Structure 1
Amino acid sequence: MLQRFFIFCSGADTDILNDCSAGENTKYAGVGATVFFTAVMAAIAGSYALFTVFDNIFTAVFFGLIWGLLIFNLDRFIVSTLKKRDNFFDELIQASPRILLAVIIAVVISKPLELKIFEKEINQVLLEQKNDLTLENKDQLALQYTPAVEGLNAEIETLKNEITTKEAEVNALYDVYISEAEGTAGTEKLGKGPVYKEKREKHDAELAALNELKTSNNAKIAFIETQIATLGTEYQDKIAETQPIIDGFDGLMARVNALGELPWLPSFFIFLLFLAIETSPIFAKLISPKGAYDLKLAEQEGALSSWVTQQKSQREILVTTDRDVNNRVYADIAEEQELYDYKRKIARELMQDQANAFYKKQKGVL
């Protein structure tokens, strides 16, 4: 039962194999087993690859099975259409497109399995890439907010410098009127005279202006600091908004690129393994000598080709003969007087009917 299933997988003609030896049946059962297990590996590889895309096991398994059936059909078609010929190079030329297709299939099958085999190493590469992307993302977002924040900080510094400058002026006026009161500067008269009073009033006016300036500038500084805090919040929100995109940077293409960052030799040997599995049925048929199955299949196809050629030739002869007979029959009839008189009578009646119809139509118009 299992052997019959594998023979079906090989695409061989079971009617012909029934008349062949057990060795021929075993050979084609082995070819079919290779085709079947290649399709199984393709289904597993496809399911894993699609799972990295859809993140849903049922969807991945469903489409993975479809992919496996597609590969099974292609492999079965490749093996079943490869016929043995008398010249090895003719067989190789015949098999070259199928070998190229087998190489493509081997690449498609092996790559998802490589992703699974080297999953831990790929995750490490992806983690490093995600960290780099996170830092780059923060730097790029900072470029949007840093100029505004620096401008606001410069405004705060300017407002603080205004207060500092005004404080220095008020302190200088304080020293002036104190020195006037002590008699160490100005009029150098001890006591609080008119000059002292004038300088004290000037100091008090500037002090009031300083307090007003402090109140105004501190309010402006507080407002600017609120703007800076708002920009900082927006910056953090942007980081939180874009971070999930970076965290989700582990799709199929990202993993394939990460696999390319790893040493190539292990992946290459895995590819060679699947290439050998995929092309083994083809090369097995190429290097194997003609067996009973190949001879009987060639005989059957030759007999069918001869029958078709014979039928085509007979139809051509039949058409030619029928055409010659018809030509002779119509030539004999054309010389009969009775047929001529009959057709002349019919033509006369037809022309009379046409003349009558035309007369009636013209009379109706008038």
Structure 2
Amino acid sequence: MLQSFFILCSGADASILKTCSPGEQNKYAGIGATVFFTAVMAFVASSYALYTVFDNIYMSIGFGLIWGLLIFNLDRFIVSTIKKTGSLKNEFLQATPRILLAIIIAVVISKPLEMKIFEKEINQVLLEQKNELTLSNKDQIALQYNPKIAELQQNIVGLKNEVALKETETNALYDTYISEAEGTAGTKLLGKGPVYKEKREKHDAALAELQQLKGDNAQKISDLENQISGLEVDYKEQVNGSQPIIDGFDGLMARISALDKLPWFPSFFIFLLFLAIETSPIIVKLLSPRGPYDYKLEDEESAVRTWASQKVAQRELLFSTDTALNKQVYDDLTKEEEIYRYKKQKAEELLKLQADAFHQLQIKNL
């Protein structure tokens, strides 16, 4: 039963193969087993690849099953259409496009399995890429906020410098009127005279302005600091909002790109393994000598081909004979006087009817 199933997978004609030796049956059963297990590997590989895309096991298995059946049908078709003609050159020419197709299928099957085999190494590469993307993302978002924050901080420094300058001026006025009172500067008269009072009034006015300036600038600085805090909050929200996108950077294309960054040698030999599996049925059929199955299949095909050619030749001969007979019959009919008179009578009647109809139409138009 298992042998019959694998023979079915090989695409061989089971009815012809039953009349062949057990060795011939085993050969095609082996070819069919290779086709079947290649389809199984294609199912596993595509299911894993689709799981990285959909992140849903049931959907991945469903689409993977469809893909496995497609690969099975393609492999079965490729193997079954290679005919043993006895000429290695002709067999190689007909196998060349099938080998190219087998190479494409091997690439499609091997890539997802390579990603599964080197999953840990790929995850490490993806982690490094995610870290780089995170830092780059922060820098790019910071470009939107840093100039505004720097401008606001510069405004705060300006306001503080304005207060400091006013405070320096007020302190200088304080030193001036104190020195005047002590007689160490100005009029150098000890005591609180008119000059002292004038300088004291200037200091008191400057002090009042300083207090007012401190209050106003403190409010402005508080507003600017609130704006800076708001921008910093917006920056963190932008970073946190875009981080899930970076965290989700592990799809199929990202993993294939990460796989390409790993050493090529192990990946290349895995590809060669699947290429050997995929092309082995074709190579076996090309290298193996013509067996009983090939001769019997050729005998049946040639019988059908000969029968079809005979039927076509008979139809062509029948057509040419019937054409010649019809020509001779109609040539003889042209010499019959009775047929001539009958055709002439009918033609006269038709012409009369046409003339009457035309006459009635003219009267109606008038």
Residues 248 and 354 of structure 1: CA distance in aligned 2, closer, same or farther (over 3 Å):
same
Per the alignment, residue 233 of structure 2 pairs with: 233
Quick one: distance in 2 between partners of 1:261 and 1:340?
94
Quick one: distance in 2 between partners of 1:209 and 1:222?
20
Identity %: 65
Per the alignment, residue 335 of structure 1 pairs with: 335
Residues 361 and 147 of structure 1: CA distance in aligned 2, closer, same or farther (over 3 Å):
closer
> Equivalences for 1:89-104 in 2 at 5 Å?
89-104=89-104
Q: Which amino acid aligns with 1:359?
A: H
Structure 1 position 305, deviation (Å): 1.2
Per the alignment, residue 154 of structure 2 pairs with: 154
Quick one: distance in 1 between partners of 2:286 and 2:362?
86
Per the alignment, residue 319 of structure 1 pairs with: 319
Per the alignment, residue 178 of structure 2 pairs with: 178
Per the alignment, residue 219 of structure 2 pairs with: 219
Q: Which amino acid aligns with 1:76?
A: R
Aligned length: 366
- Structure 1 SS opposite 2:170: helix
Structure 1 position 128, deviation (Å): 0.8
* Residue 32 of structure 1 pairs with residue 62 of structure 2: no
Structure 1 position 25, deviation (Å): 0.8
Per the alignment, residue 276 of structure 1 pairs with: 276
Residues 365 and 153 of structure 1: CA distance in aligned 2, closer, same or farther (over 3 Å):
closer
* Residue 352 of structure 1 pairs with residue 352 of structure 2: yes
Per the alignment, residue 83 of structure 1 pairs with: 83
Quick one: distance in 1 between partners of 2:136 and 2:2?
58
Query: What CA RMSD, in Å, does the superposition of the two structures yield over aligned residues?
Result: 1.0
> Equivalences for 1:190-229 in 2 at 5 Å?
190-229=190-229
Structure 1 position 8, deviation (Å): 0.3
Structure 1 position 344, deviation (Å): 1.4
- Could you give the per-residue CA deviations for residues 225-280 of structure 1, whole angstroms, max 9, x where no partner exists? 01100110000000001000000000001101111111111111111110110000
Residues 170 and 364 of structure 1: CA distance in aligned 2, closer, same or farther (over 3 Å):
closer
Residues 200 and 108 of structure 1: CA distance in aligned 2, closer, same or farther (over 3 Å):
same
Per the alignment, residue 107 of structure 2 pairs with: 107
> Equivalences for 1:298-309 in 2 at 5 Å?
298-309=298-309
Per the alignment, residue 188 of structure 2 pairs with: 188
- Structure 2 SS opposite 1:290: coil
Structure 1 position 84, deviation (Å): 0.6
Structure 1 position 365, deviation (Å): 4.4
Structure 1 position 89, deviation (Å): 1.8
* Residue 48 of structure 1 pairs with residue 48 of structure 2: yes
Quick one: distance in 2 between partners of 1:350 and 1:295?
69
Per the alignment, residue 129 of structure 2 pairs with: 129
Structure 1: gaps (5+ residues)? none
